[in-house]
């Protein structure tokens, strides 16, 4: 069985493949679905996770047996740059191995500048990698309330800028959007600093009714008004689109695979087809 797997349901909208390095996370986001999905008690999930047993061995076996030409996301379960028992050594080894086997990769983290310790490896991937962060609140107090041990929004914005300035393709995940007004402020910030290539926009789902009192259709309209004139690459998640029935989304805004990182092999040569417009 492969350790790289195909996500399903809402997770599939994020990536055709994924790899989880740790089964746990130190960020303790209020809305975290992972303990429930994994049927683990919160006290066993939140903390400093160990890397999965034999992960590097299993990954190497998988990569020798299978060819991945579409992006593998690190990670759906946990944040691969959270505080971990191995101090992040395993994620670095995983990246080196994925690069060696020419696998296209997307990295998503809320950790901020700590992930820049692997900037040298991100650069080695060239166009086969995109690195992103989740943006939820510009307001620091709210950010701390909802994502207590993740980095502050200013640090996440700064990290995106550093990555982008270093030639790394970047993405920002606006899922969850908890308060549309905060997410819109963050979108404006990223546009001002021109630090994001691709936007993924969704909403908070099923968290104590918080999502029930927002005008999601207006949010979709406001995002479109900000982003469409910029020609940025944007994907609106289905959970948001169904709540905005009067909004006309473009075909490219509804195709989850449009902007993934992938490689095409033609005549034995690897051809990069990243982020085609």
Q: Interface residues with ligand SF4 (CB under 6 A)?
A: 25, 27-29, 32, 34, 78-79, 110
The rounded distance, in Å, linking the Cα atoms of 7 and 24 is: 18
Q: Which is nearer to ligand SF4, 137 or 263 (CB)?
A: 137
Q: Which is nearer to ligand SF4, 29 or 73 (CB)?
A: 29
Q: What distance in Å separates the CA atoms of residue 61 and residue 101, rounded to the nearest whole number?
A: 11
- CA–CA dist 159, 115 (Å, integer): 8
- At 73 the three-state DSSP class reads strand
Least distance CB 51 / ligand SF4 (angstroms): 15
* Coil/strand/helix, residue 105: strand
Distance CA 103, CA 114 (A): 23
As a whole number of angstroms, the distance between CA 16 and CA 253 comes to 17
Report the nearest approach of ligand SF4 to the CB of residue 163 (Å).
Answer: 18
Contact 106, 172 (CB under 8 A): no
Q: Smallest distance from the beta carbon of 40 to ligand SF4, in angstroms? A: 12
Q: Which is nearer to ligand SF4, 108 or 184 (CB)?
A: 108
The CB-of-60 to ligand SF4 minimum distance in angstroms stands at 25
- At its nearest, how many Å lie between ligand SF4 and the CB of residue 46? 7
Nearer to ligand SF4, 29 or 160 (CB): 29
Least CB distance from residue 38 to ligand SF4, whole Å?
10
Between 110 and 200, CB nearer to ligand SF4: 110
Token pair belonging to 194: 């021109």
Cα–Cα–Cα angle for 268, 270, 275, rounded to 5 degrees = 145
- For residue 134, the surrounding DSSP H or E stretch is strand 129-134
How far does CA 224 lie from the centroid of its chain? 20
- CB of 174 closer than 8 Å to CB of 186: yes
């Amino acid at each position: 069985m492969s350790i790289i797997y195909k996500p399903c349901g809402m997770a599939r909208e994020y990536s055709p493949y994924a790899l989880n390095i740790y089964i746990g996370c130190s960020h303790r986001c209020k809305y975290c679905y992972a303990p429930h999905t994994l049927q683990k008690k919160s006290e066993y999930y939140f903390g400093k996770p160990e890397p999965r047993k034999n992960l590097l061995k299993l990954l190497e076996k998988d990569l020798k047996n299978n060819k991945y030409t579409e992006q593998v996301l690190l990670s759906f379960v946990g944040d691969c740059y959270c505080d971990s028992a191995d101090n992040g050594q395993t994620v670095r080894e995983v990246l080196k191995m994925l690069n060696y086997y020419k696998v296209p990769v997307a990295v998503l983290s809320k950790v901020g500048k700590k992930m820049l310790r692997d900037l040298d490896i991100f650069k080695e991937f060239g166009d086969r990698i995109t690195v992103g962060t989740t943006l939820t609140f510009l307001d620091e107090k709210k950010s701390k309330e909802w994502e207590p041990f993740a980095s502050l929004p200013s640090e996440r914005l700064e990290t995106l800028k550093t990555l982008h300035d270093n030639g790394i393709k970047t993405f920002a995940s606006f899922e969850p959007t908890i308060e549309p007004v905060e997410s819109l402020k963050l979108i404006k910030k990223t546009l001002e600093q021109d630090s994001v290539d691709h936007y993924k926009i969704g909403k908070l789902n099923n968290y104590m009714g918080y999502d029930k009192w927002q005008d999601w259709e207006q949010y979709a309209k406001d995002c479109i008004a900000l982003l469409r004139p910029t020609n940025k690459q944007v994907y609106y998640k289905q959970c948001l689109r169904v709540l905005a029935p009067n909004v006309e989304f473009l075909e490219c805004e509804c195709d989850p695979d449009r902007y993934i990182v992938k490689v095409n092999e033609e005549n034995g040569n690897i051809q990069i087809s990243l982020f085609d417009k």
